[in-house]
Amino acid sequence: MENILGLCFQTSCGAHLLPHGRTVLSVGPQEPGGNFTLPVFPNLFSSQAPALVCSEAFSVFLHKYCPVVTECFTPTPWCWGGRFQTLVCALIKSRPPVTYRNELIRTVDGGQISLDWVDNQASVAYPESSTRPTVLILPGLTGNSQQSYVLHAIRQASRHGYRCVVFNNRGFGGEELLTPVTCCAANTSDLERVVHHVKGLYPQAPVLGVGVSLGGMLLLNYLARKRTESGLVAGFTISVPWDAQKSCVSMEEPLNWLLFNKYLTSGLCRTVNRHRKILEKVVDVDHVLKARTIREFDERFTSLLFGYRSCIDYYHDASPDKKLPDTAVPILCLNAADDPFSPQHAFPLTVVQGLPNVALLLTAHGGHIAFLQGLFPRGESYMERLFSQFIQAVFEHPRDIKKACGIKEEQMS
């Protein structure tokens, strides 16, 4: 593979860019064989600008319209480590009040999907509903429109005058499960149905997809599968597990299992039990409920439900890391090197380095969907500010971002 050009190493909050073809900010030296290593961060609480891996043109665009990518990220000083960031965020993060308009749409198999809308009819910037930009939000595993990160994202988008809609995965949005089908990160048919529905309602309004954790996996798999016909103008992801198998191994480490894996598995099992009547037609529900890890749950439920021969096959199909070259819209991905759900050795640095339309922004710290800053990190954090700046950059400067990512107007539909 070609050598990295334009390598940028950070001394503190500054950056020294060598004027060559591609931009890779604060990524460590290339290893023999073409792999790349992230830098070592010796001081847990030091201020460090994140590493930005992308093309030079995309980098210039982000520096101009998303200046937060150059800011030093200093984690909350008393909130050390990725695990602690993740736990504290879940416990103390504020929950901005949001009033939804719920809509249930039917699927081709007879099921239903719950969508939660924030129409933003009072938008000053976009008073015409037909052209008001729309942010489509995909929550993480077991998540729905009530998650704090969803509420914060909606508040940010609403400030800009945009409309939001949350795609609740089947069975997790409070709706009745009408068919024995839930969700998996590899199956994009429901997301395709949702995008088609949203575009049908507002054909002139641009739609940007935002995926968090498993929602990010689903979004990236969808963008890779649909390519130029995704119906989306851009994608933004937070804390994506790039390789499902490697993420699973990380989550089965004793402390991660105790703090996160056990809790998430219990949530999945509760959902299955709540929909027992319809799901027992296709799986052994009692056997599923004995699962103690996400892997066991996927072996006994997800892989069977979606026709995979094994959990390994499902994880291979669900992993978005190798599919990025098939995407055709601008994509910005935020990950933390200390995320217990998404280990840094799985970050697709080599893949992203060769793509004009994908940017990977890496912080040394931040955990999983946390990125807490300040002494009292209940409100807006780094990921909210990045989200706010990026969606505004996409919607307000569509020609600039297409040019930066080498995308022609006729390529996107």
Instruction: Return the structure tokens found at 157.
Output: 């988008």
Residue 338 a catalytic site member: no
Name every residue whose Cβ is closer than 8 Å to that of residue 203 and which is 6 or more positions away in sequence: none
CA angle 18, 20, 22 (to 5 degrees): 105
Q: Is 368 a catalytic residue?
A: yes
- CB burial class (10 A; 0-12, 13-18, 19+) of residue 3? exposed
Cα–Cα distance between 162 and 134 in angstroms, integer?
6
Q: Which of 275, 368, 381, 388 is catalytic?
A: 368
Contact 166, 184 (CB under 8 A): no
Question: Which residue in this structure is represented by tokens 């939660």?
Answer: 116
Q: Which of 339, 342, 381, 388 is catalytic?
A: 339
| Calculated CA dihedral for residues 296, 298, 300, 305, nearest 10 degrees | 180
SS3 257: helix
| List of residues 6+ apart from 43 with CB closer than 8 A | none
DSSP 33-85: TS-B-PPP---TT--BPPEEEEEHHHHHHHHHH-GGGGS-B---TTS-SHHHH
**Residue 357 and residue 331 in contact, taking contact as beta carbons nearer than 8 Å:** yes
Look at the chain and count its residues. Answer: 413
Please state, in angstroms and as integers, the Cα–Cα distance from residue 143 to each residue in 170, 226, 404, following that order: 11, 25, 33
Name the active-site residue from 114, 213, 230, 239: 213
Please give the positions annotated as active site.
213, 339, 368
